[in-house]
Amino acid sequence: MRSLKVPANNLARGLLSGSVEMVGVVVPDLHDEFCGDIVTGIEERLSYLGVHMMCVLGHNDRESETRVVSELIRRDLKGLIVLADHLPDRYLTTIARERALVVLNRAASGPGWQSLRIDNISGGKMATRHLISMGHTRIAHLTGPSYREDVEDRKNGYLEALADAGIEPDPSLMVFTDRTWDEVDGASATEQILRGTDATAIFAGNDFLAIGALEELRRQHISVPKGMSVVSYDNRSYTRWTNPPLTCIDYPKKEIGRRAADYVVDLMRGGTPAPLPMLTPNLIVRESTSSPGIRR
């Protein structure tokens, strides 16, 4: 076998000797602000703790996620932070027997590993209750792929808020977008809502769906919020610059990264960290919501 030539620097020597600590990070991509902010939070905290980071992309695909995690294990990294929707719990449990492991955005933890996630049920409730408080009872929900736990939690929060207000859920007001959960899906789902329902408000399950909804409403000359109120979820930075600026559910993305980094490093160093908390989102009210009006 051909020998591996390693640059003669302190990091390379430290990796070979085991004296340098390094954490592997797996995310779907780095183009999306959501993943970018989490990785920034991880890197900031690891740098403070004197730990290096190796970040790889899982591309939101089970085969790819498995391959990159296997590569990190082959490199003998002692800690992993994983944001991957397709890896089964039993596989993560196997990894956790020999590695410090934190999994992001998973509904539950498993033997030997912790999940750090957002209380998306509360977030779904906040979004829907905000619209109900403004007088809306015909609230559509644009939701994403059913295999995603955060999607199901946001939908369940929507349903719980309706039930709390005594509003009977209408299946025609829930549009499932099992493709890519993007702007095209948002526009298509909104066209379906406008064609077949009397909805006065839309709760979009993420910012991409909301952007697509705004575009379809603009195309059909429906004013926001007078003709249709819109609430989004995730609060990427561009949502404050849409026309109108979007009311959003927000949560601390960099804080997710920082907490995950603290936890995995503590485990790597032989500590017994406290269980990771569920982080609570909050509502940011902007100009895309108002009391019910007339579509045209």
Does the pLDDT of residue 61 top 50, yes or no?
yes
Class of domain 120-251: alpha beta
Nearest CA to 40 out of 254, 251, 236 is that of 254
Does the pLDDT of residue 36 top 60, yes or no?
yes
The answer to whether residues 66 and 74 touch, using CB atoms and an 8 Å cutoff, is no
Q: How confident is the model at residue 293 (pLDDT cuts 50, 70, 90)?
A: confident
Per-residue confidence (pLDDT) for residue 8, from 0 to 100: 45
Per-residue confidence (pLDDT) for residue 110, from 0 to 100: 82
In the chain, list all ranges with CATH 3.40.50.2300: 10-118+252-281, 120-251
Q: Return the sign of the alpha-carbon dihedral for residues 47, 103, 144, 157.
A: negative
CATH fold of 10-118+252-281: Rossmann fold (3.40.50)
CA within 13 Å, CB half, 93: 7
Per-residue confidence (pLDDT) for residue 15, from 0 to 100: 52
pLDDT tens string 73-90? 999 999 999 999 889 999
Q: First CA to last CA across the chain, in angstroms?
A: 72
Per-residue confidence (pLDDT) for residue 62, from 0 to 100: 92
pLDDT tens string 239-265? 999 999 999 999 999 999 999 999 999
Per-residue confidence (pLDDT) for residue 24, from 0 to 100: 98
The answer to whether residues 227 and 194 touch, using CB atoms and an 8 Å cutoff, is no
Per-residue confidence (pLDDT) for residue 4, from 0 to 100: 37
Range from 9-18, 33-42, 59-68, 160-169 carrying the lowest mean pLDDT:
9-18
Whole-angstrom distance, CA of residue 68 vs CA of residue 58: 7
pTM: 0.90
Does the pLDDT of residue 180 top 80, yes or no?
no
Q: Report the 10 Å Cβ neighbour count for 248.
A: 28
Per-residue confidence (pLDDT) for residue 3, from 0 to 100: 35
Tokens representing 282 are 């909050």
Whole-angstrom distance, CA of residue 208 vs CA of residue 221: 20
Q: Return the sign of the alpha-carbon dihedral for residues 65, 66, 71, 76.
A: positive
Q: How confident is the model at residue 295 (pLDDT cuts 50, 70, 90)?
A: low
**Which amino acid, residue 251?**
Y
Nearest CA to 229 out of 208, 248, 256 is that of 248
Whole-angstrom distance, CA of residue 121 vs CA of residue 80: 27
Q: How confident is the model at residue 296 (pLDDT cuts 50, 70, 90)?
A: low
pLDDT tens string 81-140? 999 988 999 999 999 999 999 999 887 778 889 999 999 999 999 999 999 999 999 999
Q: Return the sign of the alpha-carbon dihedral for residues 25, 28, 32, 34.
A: negative
Question: What is the average per-residue pLDDT within 226-246?
Answer: 97
User: Bridge-partner residues for 201, per DSSP?
Assistant: 139, 229
